[in-house]
């Protein structure tokens, strides 16, 4: 697919009943994130840089942060296109955009993400070597960029703790990135419509870990800290309401 100078990897899908937020009858934010993760995974697999390659070569991409902006809702049965492209590799980091469109080519959601190239055997980040990834770089999407680091609010309220279960775990044996978003969504009120979301990943939770949710509410904004028993964050998820972030011009 080519649009306004962008060549992106994409696949087509249709919004399923299982992907909806049943209070609002629209595509759930965590389902959008799952679409985006699947898209980048499909691209990596097609370039022979997928799960088997990373596990064999002891090099993986760990997600450091998301910034998602929802411009228009997607509804049950809508035909959608999900696209992605990397736009930079700097030091340990890779930078990647994602896009969700309807069948009329209208942009429904856009995301920016930062990834860390990591050696799990050495337990440390490693530098991305030039031309070693197999990916073609494209220009970044012209969106407003918020700070990738999220400050922990001073006033928080602890929610009920819960364990990490098997369904939260991915092929790298830690909690999948999208699962943190789904966990955090549980603490939003039913009438809260998400226009923007940020996620700041701090450390990896594994099977059996206990997660303590710490919740902060401000005007049109909820911050959910998913922490360990000592209140050290695994991930910090921040949700903004409709009135906070202006819509961006679409390609």
pLDDT given at position 242: 64
- Listed residue (113, 132, 168) closest to 54, CA to CA: 132
pLDDT given at position 65: 96
Q: How far apart are CA 128 and CA 93, in angstroms?
A: 7
Mean pLDDT per 10-residue interval, the chain, length 251 residues: 61 94 86 96 88 79 94 95 95 95 96 92 83 81 90 94 95 91 93 93 96 94 97 97 48 37
pLDDT given at position 130: 63
- Listed residue (233, 231, 229, 175) closest to 30, CA to CA: 175
pLDDT given at position 116: 93
pLDDT given at position 58: 81
pLDDT given at position 59: 83
User: Domains in the chain, ordered, with CATH?
Assistant: 2-241 (3.10.129.10)
- Listed residue (158, 160, 149, 170) closest to 238, CA to CA: 149
pLDDT given at position 180: 97
pLDDT given at position 12: 97
């Amino acid at each position: 697919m080519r649009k306004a100078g962008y060549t992106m990897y994409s696949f087509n899908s249709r919004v399923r009943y299982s992907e909806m937020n049943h209070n609002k009858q629209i595509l759930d934010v965590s389902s959008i994130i799952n679409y985006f993760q699947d898209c980048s995974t499909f691209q990596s697999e097609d370039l022979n840089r997928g799960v088997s390659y990373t596990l064999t070569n002891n090099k993986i991409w760990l997600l450091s942060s998301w910034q998602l902006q929802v411009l228009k809702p997607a509804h049950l049965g809508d035909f959608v296109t999900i696209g992605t492209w990397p736009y930079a590799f700097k030091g340990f980091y890779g930078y990647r955009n994602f896009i969700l469109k309807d069948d009329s080519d209208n942009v429904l959601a856009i995301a920016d993400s930062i990834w860390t190239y990591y050696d799990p055997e050495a337990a440390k980040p490693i530098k991305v070597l030039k031309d070693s990834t197999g990916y073609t770089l494209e220009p970044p999407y012209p969106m407003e960029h918020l700070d990738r680091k999220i400050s922990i609010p001073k006033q928080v309220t602890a929610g009920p703790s819960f364990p990490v279960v098997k369904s939260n775990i991915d092929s790298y044996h830690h909690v999948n990135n999208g699962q943190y978003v789904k966990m955090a969504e549980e603490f939003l009120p039913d009438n809260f419509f998400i226009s923007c979301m940020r996620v700041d990943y701090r450390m990896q939770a594994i099977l059996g870990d206990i997660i303590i949710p710490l919740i902060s509410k401000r005007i049109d904004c909820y911050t959910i800290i998913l922490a360990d028993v000592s209140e050290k964050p695994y991930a910090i998820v921040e949700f903004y309401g409709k009135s906070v972030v202006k819509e961006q011009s679409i390609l």
